[in-house]
Structure 1
């Protein structure tokens, strides 16, 4: 049996180091906060209406309460999280493991009424599986595919564990998920940002569907990225990629976050205001330069822009969800600053991508030119946020939407989940916000 398949069925929570378990809880909290932040977007409203109308079932949707199927619920939750580009990610994958994984595990785990420890084991297994599936896929295809593509296989792996499929049925589930997963090209959405985004919701849906189909006898093995790329799977159980995820302080593409840090450094160091700035140069890697959307017409375009959030940061000292909402993209001060930005592709930054995302900024003013050093995004795994940082971020996103008391109850239900049923958490999540 391939090592990856054996890992799905043999991993025990007791095998997992305590720091890995603790980080998984924080990643789940972060994903839940981002989902709360994304629930008010048009994207989320449309996809939840779609899931309720088109996917018949008995399961309530995340922060909605209306019923759908496990596949529909995974689609809606995955796209709701992806609606606000603030969730965790993995540099070598150039994408996000948690976004397709968590919705699939939540819906399947709630439907099967699993124990909290089994859910947590599936989540950690999913992060380890997803990291390697992503790297294996990127090594086998010329195009840069969205998180939903390898995320479908990741969701199927977690689902197979939760539903206790036998190894042969699991093998078919992974094969179905890989075959039917959304092999969507990420740079298409970078060049023309729309609601399709990173494909995570579709990948989560495909993974859940694959598990259900395999359980019913549908065949689909093998998954090439799992069975024909052994080098990527050899360190399972020894190297824990759960500890190598990054987090986002700002709700925009990770590729824009190093430019934001460089711009904020100059703003703070030299007391620069919007009226002081004559021109701005951002030197960074190719993919960040491709986020060339100075005049976004929607929150999707604002989130997949480098110049617009950098202009927000220079004007306001930070970037919040309200700063990149549909209602905020016509702000004349921000648009004026964004129009002064020139994007410059850097060989130095290109050479380090995707493991490092470098940027430097040069700002010209009437009193002189100011140039930053090379900056990286905040909260990479090499300089991670503290537990307090992530809990503060969670409440900043969740409290305005859910109310502080509800957000605190969710936080409390996640604590010690290994000693509770999953329903202690999922009953809090799968209800309308107004309840």
Structure 2
């Protein structure tokens, strides 16, 4: 049993990790994660939620880039806006119930510009952010679905990435993580109503994490028992200390970034696997033209409990529909363009809504991550089963293709230059040429 606290163990890991000792395959995966986050951010530049976040920044000026804008702003402001950009399309990556790219890359990138950080150190900061977002969740999985993991664990991950870029020492980093634990917040009510606050929560998580690191650099302190203490993070967020050993178990022996899930469709992660199975079923045999088909989607209790998974029409916004298993599976079964962001603006499509009414959502109490989609029609019954997320692990080729598809209409010829720079990121002495390409 270690005599050091969770925040102290995290801080020691964050401050002592050497880029030179990282496995080459992990570095390659980290660059692909960065590329994926940049893809979704660039493609989201005209969406309303990032515009709301950018309006809050006002006329503030600093050294950090807002993706898609000509101006530069203070790091905490860039972190806020860029996090809403990465998360804006609901197409960013996923790990341990959080969207790690949306909170770690904007935090690290904003401060890297300010601090003249190298590409290698940016990679290390991102790897550490992914590690902490996952480990914070593993120490208290009961926080979901009471709280939104990205808003809660993500705040601490952003602080971890920021602390690394700022070169805080172990004591300062422990204080940064403790402050971030206090600043953490967020729940999923907006998924039930299709409103903007759940998207803005991602931006605030990133901003709060960066703020925690900057405050720690300025002398702010936090309880060394911020996580496991009687009145600490896990007591508040998870309601129990039963799982806290998993927060640090095997720290440094495996890297959670390698377990990150890729999102092809711009919808909630919890409907990605049912949609994939549904699409595969109709590729084998399309639905008959009559209206007698009955579809059943069977999932684990935790998936069923995610806010919005059981949403039904009338839908109030595209977000309201994009978390609905019934709407998304119906769209997949009807062979709609489910990989096209613009499709979800048609959340009142009559044929999709009619089929959605014939979809039953069922809980399998014994399942932790199994998903089954079955169809019963005049030709009998057929079903496919999968493990949640198993078809969503990314390859470099998939992400590079996604990057080109999402960004080339916006970046034009700069697309290949950005791609080249990210794929050789560890060789860049600083990020200024790369971030200049990301500005409008």
TM-score, normalised to structure 2, is: 0.87
Contact 1:282/1:359, CA 8 A, preserved across alignment: yes
- Summarize the Cα distance change of 1:360–1:19 in structure 2 as closer, same or farther, 3 Å threshold: same
Which of 351, 354, 377 is the equivalent residue of 1:333? 351
**5 Å matches for 1:32-431?**
32-52=38-58, 57-90=62-95, 93-138=96-141, 143-182=146-185, 184-186=186-188, 188-197=189-198, 199-222=201-224, 224-225=226-227, 229=244, 231-272=246-287, 278-289=293-304, 290-295=308-313, 296-316=315-335, 318-326=337-345, 328-348=346-366, 351-352=367-368, 356=369, 358-365=370-377, 367-377=378-388, 384-403=393-412, 405-420=413-428, 421-429=430-438, 431=439
* In 2, Cα distance between equivalents of 1:274 and 1:294: 23
* In 2, Cα distance between equivalents of 1:311 and 1:56: 46
Contact 2:326/2:359, CA 8 A, preserved across alignment: yes
Contact 2:11/2:171, CA 8 A, preserved across alignment: no
Q: Classify the secondary structure of the residue corresponding to 2:205.
A: helix
Unaligned runs of 5+ in 2: 233-243
* In 2, Cα distance between equivalents of 1:7 and 1:304: 36
Which of 3, 7, 10 is the equivalent residue of 1:4? 10
Unaligned runs of 5+ in 1: none
Q: How well do the aligned residues superpose, as a CA RMSD in angstroms?
A: 2.5
Partner of 1:31: 37
Q: Classify the secondary structure of the residue corresponding to 1:87.
A: coil
Contact 2:137/2:247, CA 8 A, preserved across alignment: no
* In 2, Cα distance between equivalents of 1:105 and 1:10: 17
* In 1, Cα distance between equivalents of 2:143 and 2:362: 30
* In 1, Cα distance between equivalents of 2:401 and 2:210: 32
* In 1, Cα distance between equivalents of 2:144 and 2:317: 31
TM-score, normalised to structure 1, is: 0.87
> How far off its partner does 1:218 sit?
2.3
* In 2, Cα distance between equivalents of 1:274 and 1:127: 46
> How far off its partner does 1:76 sit?
0.8
